[in-house]
A = this chain, B = another copy of it.
Amino acid sequence: MDALMQLWASTGLSNFQADQAVMMAVGFGLLYLAIKKEFEPLLLLPIGFGAVLSNIPMAGIAEEGGLLSYLYLGIKSGIFPLLIFMGVGAMTDFGPMLANPKTLLLGAAAQFGIFGTLFGALALNLIPGMSFTIKDAAAIAIIGGADGPTSIYVASKLAPELLGAIAVAAYSYMALVPLIQPPIMRALTTPEERLIEMAQLRHVSRLEKIIFPGVLLILTAMLLPSAAPLIGMFCLGNLIRECGVVDRLSKTAQNEMINVVTIFLGLAVGSKLSADQFLRTETLGILVLGALAFSFGTASGVLMAKLMNVISPENKINPLIGAAGVSAVPMSARVANKVGQESNPHNFLLMHAMGPNVAGVIGSAVAAGVLLALVQ
Contacts and interface: CB of A to CB of B under 8 A. Distances in A.
B374 A245 contact: no
Contacts of A15: 225
Given A3-B374, A6-B373, A252-B255, 15 more contacts: A11-B224, A34-B243, A35-B243, A41-B243, A42-B246, A49-B232, A49-B236, A49-B239, A59-B221, A59-B232, A61-B229, A252-B260, A256-B256, A256-B260, A257-B260
Contacts of A82: 67
Nearest to A7: B373
A17 interface: no
B12 A374 contact: no
Interface of A: 3, 6-7, 10-13, 15-16, 24, 28, 31, 34-35, 38, 41-42, 45-46, 49, 52-53, 56-59, 61, 65-67, 70, 77-79, 82, 210, 214, 217-218, 220-226, 228-229, 232-233, 236, 239-240, 243-246, 248-249, 251-253, 255-257, 259-260, 262-263, 267, 370, 373-374
B229 A35 contact: no
Each complex incorporates copies of this chain amounting to 3
Contact of A263 (B7, B245, B249): B249
7 closest A-B pairs by CB:
A252-B259, A59-B228, A58-B225, A41-B245, A59-B225, A56-B221, A256-B256
